[in-house]
Structure 1
């Protein structure tokens, strides 16, 4: 590594025109610069500079060697500038993993990133948990309790949920009045194979809690499928998606037990490494945190994966 340092010093001496000027640029003493040059020439077995009291001139070997040294220094500076741009301005590819139901949310939250023409966005939308390292993911959005891991998690906020069903289903099966009435209804669950059924912890209008263990008539791992099943009248589901919110607004879905609320779901941004992050990741995290800090306008669906 010392040889590369001496090559850089040699290139700076040639660019500055004197040992003194080069030493000033490098933050070294002239004697230290002279010593590095002497060691470089000794290692090469050739003189690189003609030294006189007034000026330095390149030998023939020095002229040939300087071309490579100058190119090395230019490449190093170019690499540093590229990293500085990556550090200071969003550019490159931002790979972001999230549950399927986050597509609309991300389009809104990350809209300011459109102003950075050198940045591209790659969304990996999947309700299954993605291996961040293998998929080269910069940020993953995850919901609910997190498993212990070496990944770095930052809580962004939480999302409200609401039980819902289609008007046709409720007209045919009736309206539950209390949480225990849910046991007489068809449940659309999102955790196939959950031992003993799916637990719903509901908080009532006076702060009381009731827990109901639901056995799903239909189970699906993707929120889009649960939404379609709920709108089609297959049973009662948990509203957590943009599609569900629109369906509630236009009456295709109706709230069930509106006085009894499921616990909010915490939302985390997970990154694969600690320490300083490039600008694209920092900007995205700031935008996501700002989005989730806004007052909720209604239930939003995401998977609990």
Structure 2
């Protein structure tokens, strides 16, 4: 029978290659860490690590043992989580991924309120630039149509969009009165927003659709926040989600003005992506919390 603390010490040293770094990572004295490695090697009956170029690396036996060590530790974590499930205790590590449009402000607040309820959970938050193809745990909040993947896709709602500019820019260059007037203005684009399409279709409740062909953009960004910053700096006009603009205006009033308010750009759908099958209690708890926290402006048209 192996001591789990010894296995954790060995696995951590293999990953870092350094006793000093591992001791800091595990918050242990270096002497304690060395003793656990020696005790493990005594238990298995042979050395598992060798020193090379100021690094500790596994020898042939260490490579073999590490695979089993990792599996043993993984099973121990699963066993602990299964027991916690019986007592309805929400613990463990939760991995969250979010599109950059949500991660600043709103999503961070959702995570903080969740942790206030469940302070035994450790959360890792990643900014997602592409839809994940697969993930074994946690969730991903995505804006726009997700690519085909092996995850469950739950539609949460959508964001409507409009044309925005800075008031001083509009005062200087004129406020567009019709969609055709937009062709006379500099356009601040978002990478991927119109790729593969020559025109941008605007919609009006009475006049129908208008295929707009904005001037070729000399300024394009891969994040909504950077696109909004450029529009605020009077670099031109751009298509932005109304919900994001409203949140920006709460912090910086008067920096953006809606042009052609009766004309709408294409809506962006919002998706929740997570694995099929049985989910850990912490993941289920966060999903419920997130659904409870959805802004009313997202329309909340859900389709599981």
With structure 2 as the length reference, what TM-score do the two structures score? 0.63
Write the distance in 1 (CA, Å) between the matches of 2:196 and 2:82: 52
Return 5+ residue gaps in structure 2 as ranges: 1-74, 300-304
TM-aligned CA distance change 1:137 to 1:177, over 3 Å: farther
Structure 2 counterpart of 1:276:
278
SS of alignment partner, residue 95 of structure 2: strand
TM-aligned CA distance change 1:198 to 1:85, over 3 Å: farther
Bigger Cα displacement from structure 2, 105-114 vs 237-246: 237-246
Structure 2 counterpart of 1:105:
106
Q: Following superposition of structure 1 onto structure 2, how do residues 147-296 of structure 1 map, counting pairs within 5 Å? A: 147-191=147-191, 195=195, 199-206=199-206, 208-214=208-214, 215-240=216-241, 244-249=245-250, 250-271=253-274, 273-292=275-294, 294-296=295-297
Write the distance in 2 (CA, Å) between the matches of 1:198 and 1:191: 14
Write the distance in 2 (CA, Å) between the matches of 1:160 and 1:243: 10
Residue 211 of structure 1 and its aligned partner are, at CA, apart by 2.2
2:119 to 117, 120, 128: 117
Residues 239 and 245 in structure 1, CA contact (< 8 A), matched pair in contact too = no
Deviation string 1:126-170 (CA, Å, 9 cap, x unpaired) is 43445554xx66211111222222222111122232221101211
TM-aligned CA distance change 1:263 to 1:241, over 3 Å: closer
Residue 116 of structure 1 and its aligned partner are, at CA, apart by 0.9
Structure 2 counterpart of 1:143:
143
Write the distance in 1 (CA, Å) between the matches of 2:298 and 2:81: 41
Residue 200 of structure 1 and its aligned partner are, at CA, apart by 2.5
Structure 1 counterpart of 2:6:
none
Bigger Cα displacement from structure 2, 205-214 vs 142-151: 205-214
SS of alignment partner, residue 107 of structure 1: helix
Residue 213 of structure 1 and its aligned partner are, at CA, apart by 3.0
Return 5+ residue gaps in structure 1 as ranges: 1-75, 299-305
Structure 2 counterpart of 1:82:
81
Write the distance in 2 (CA, Å) between the matches of 1:140 and 1:131: 11
Q: Which has the larger radius of gyration?
A: 1
Write the distance in 1 (CA, Å) between the matches of 2:286 and 2:78: 24
Residues 161 and 242 in structure 2, CA contact (< 8 A), matched pair in contact too = no
Deviation string 1:45-83 (CA, Å, 9 cap, x unpaired) is xxxxxxxxxxxxxxxxxxxxxxxxxxxxxxx99965531
Write the distance in 2 (CA, Å) between the matches of 1:140 and 1:297: 17
With structure 1 as the length reference, what TM-score do the two structures score? 0.62
Deviation string 1:192-214 (CA, Å, 9 cap, x unpaired) is 69556564322214261222133
Residue 101 of structure 1 and its aligned partner are, at CA, apart by 2.5
Write the distance in 1 (CA, Å) between the matches of 2:185 and 2:107: 34
TM-aligned CA distance change 1:94 to 1:185, over 3 Å: same
Write the distance in 1 (CA, Å) between the matches of 2:169 and 2:258: 12
Write the distance in 1 (CA, Å) between the matches of 2:245 and 2:223: 13
Write the distance in 2 (CA, Å) between the matches of 1:241 and 1:259: 13
CA RMSD of the aligned region, Å?
Answer: 3.0
TM-aligned CA distance change 1:200 to 1:248, over 3 Å: farther
